[in-house]
Chains A and B, each alone.
Chain A
Amino acid sequence: MQLTGKSKAALIIGLLPAFLIYTVFAIYPIIQSFYYSFMEWDGFSEMEFIGLQNFGNLFQDELFWNSVGNNIFVVIASVFGQIPIALFIALLLNRKIKGLKIFRTIGFLPVVLSTVVISLTWSLIYNTKDGMINEILRAVGLDFLAQNWLGDTKWSMVAVCITVIWQFVGLYLIIFLAALQNIPEEVMEAAKMDGASEWVTTWKITIPMIWDTIIVAIILCISGSLRTFDLIYVMTHGGPSHSTDVMALYMFNETFSNLKYGYGSAISVFIFFFSLILIGIVKKVLGQKFI
């Protein structure tokens, strides 16, 4: 529809609220964090301009690189845990099967729960003394395998990643299932007529046909797990001895516990570019448009 002169005002009234609130509370903070990242500031006293020194320190900060490494570990564990499990279960569900609806309902359930509830539940499950996992191990006579899952640097990261995988498998399961059900039935019929086994059909026809969806899911999985914060904050707070620290958590602690606002902002800027670049690269490699 074309606008006449009078309704130019309507245009402004219609778009201004969204534009203002989005610009002030989503875009402006990003710009601000660039500004603060050049400052030394404890949040109270006068800011001091120190140029690129925060970034210089950041690149030599071993604890920071430790958190980047852990973050990448979470991303890899999510992609190689969530995507194959979800795809496998979706393939099993994609046939005339009784109880499909129930399996789907249960599969998606963890996705709607809040991360805090999930983290606290799993903290109880991992509990050393009375947690479910150790109790099961004791019950079947494997006492020696019982661990302080979240308190031991050897296991903490694995334990956290298992929870992350558990939380989101259902999301990808549903995405894959929807894609599978969109494959025209004639294609499958034709394959069956040619005498192709189910194994061959799955690898040669089904998976190639939903390949685009798999790529979308991988990108989603990477950008989602890159943002892990709540779960680790609640479960381990980055500990023990930084073994589960991730970028956002390290930034949070540096800023609000150590009162290094400038330094924390430099980490924010790093997270911003790191996410954009990583997702950009993955999209490029897997052949998708950036936005």
Chain B
Amino acid sequence: METTIKKTTRSALPLHRSTRNMSVKNTLIYAVLIIFSVINVYPIIWMIINSFKSEKEFAVNQFGLPKTLVIDNYIEAWGTANLGVLFKNSIFICLLATILTVLIGALASYFLARIEFKFKNALYTFFIFGMLIPIHATLVPMFILLKNLGLLNNPITLLFPYIAFHLPITIFILTSFMKAFPKDIEESAIIDGCGIFRIFWSIILPMSRPALATVIILNFIYNWNEFSFALVLLNDPALQTLPLGLASFAGQFTVNYGAQMAGLTMSMIPIIIFYLFLEKEIVNGMTAGAVKG
């Protein structure tokens, strides 16, 4: 009853009143969204802006734009943090781990998705179980295992945990994608005399392109940002990856904020550019990875 009364009174109101209510509401919504966005992005902008200020200017003018662009911070950060080496190591390990994980994972997914064999479901569950393993529970035994294998402090040390721990999500995403293909794809290929790996390489793999993009991005970002395994398994400064190197660099130079901010900005820029260009794929990949993982 009450609602009907309200409704009639509302429609009886002069028109401009309700449009004004609407615009007040819209303004409020925008205000909240803008505050949220500022909180989200300002810490990053604050750091980038201040990375161009001298120590003195930072102390007195933290919120304004830099009066002159000081690039000394960048020179110092690049030199002392050894950013060149860190970038090289990170790119090397990320690319190699990503390529291997996706190749090995795609091959396994192909058999798990398209071919009938005994214990198939058990094997699939076994792989998927890996998504539940808390990686920190494996830091100590991983360290001991790699030490016993003589693989600590080696340029390829990180490949082993990175591939092993990202295979489950890779296999999960690829298998569910490949399962959806119609059954007769392989049949006509077999009639044409194609071998089983040939079918994988020239038919299934190209058809899986969207899912491959997802797992490649997912693997790359996970590996690029990974810290725990790098911390435990690498001591040699010449082999450190970007996150590890940055953490120890900041530890040494707690006083010089400028250089620290310059180092952080430089390490952040590539991933932000990568994100702005491939936003859709990255967002899809990371949400898929999270929801399924």
Contacts and interface: CB of A to CB of B under 8 A. Distances in A.
Interface of A: 1-3, 7, 10-11, 14-15, 17-19, 21-22, 24-30, 32-33, 36, 43, 85, 89, 92-93, 95, 97, 102-117, 119-125, 127, 130, 132, 135, 139, 166, 169-171, 174-175, 178, 195, 216, 220, 224, 226-227, 229-230, 233-234, 247-248, 251-252, 255-256, 261, 264-265, 268-269, 271-272, 275-276, 279, 291
Given A2-B116, A21-B104, A92 B29 contact: yes
Given A26-B167, A109-B40, 11 more contacts: A1-B186, A14-B196, A18-B108, A22-B130, A103-B33, A107-B40, A108-B279, A112-B274, A114-B227, A227-B134, A227-B136
Nearest to B163: A21
Interface in B102-143: 104-105, 107-108, 110-112, 114-117, 123, 125, 127-130, 132-143
A130 B62 contact: yes
Interface in B234-262: 242-244, 246-247, 250, 257, 260-261
Contacts of B140: 33, 36, 251, 255, 261, 264-265, 268
B267 A132 contact: no
Contacts of A113: 44, 225, 268, 271-272
Contacts of B247: 116, 119-120, 233-234
Contacts of A21: 104, 160, 163-164, 167
Contact of B127 (A18, A124, A227): A18
Contacts of A19: 108, 123
Contacts of B63: 135, 139
A180 B210 CA distance: 23
A115 B227 CA distance: 8
B224 to A, nearest CB: 7
Contacts of B134: 226-227, 248, 271-272, 275
Interface in B264-293: 264, 267-268, 271-272, 274-276, 279, 282-283, 286-287, 290-291, 293
Contact of A32 (B33, B115, B144, B197): B144
Interface string B37-79: 1011101101100000000001100110000000000000000
Given A25-B142, A220-B291, A271-B137, A103 B37 contact: yes
A261 B144 CA distance: 9
B87 interface: no
A25 B160 contact: yes
26 contacts: A2-B116, A18-B104, A18-B171, A19-B108, A22-B164, A25-B160, A30-B141, A43-B144, A89-B32, A97-B29, A97-B33, A102-B37, A108-B283, A109-B40, A109-B272, A112-B282, A114-B242, A114-B243, A116-B247, A119-B247, A122-B43, A127-B257, A174-B283, A227-B136, A233-B247, A275-B134
B36 interface: yes
Nearest to A24: B164
Given A130-B58, A227-B135, A32 B163 contact: no
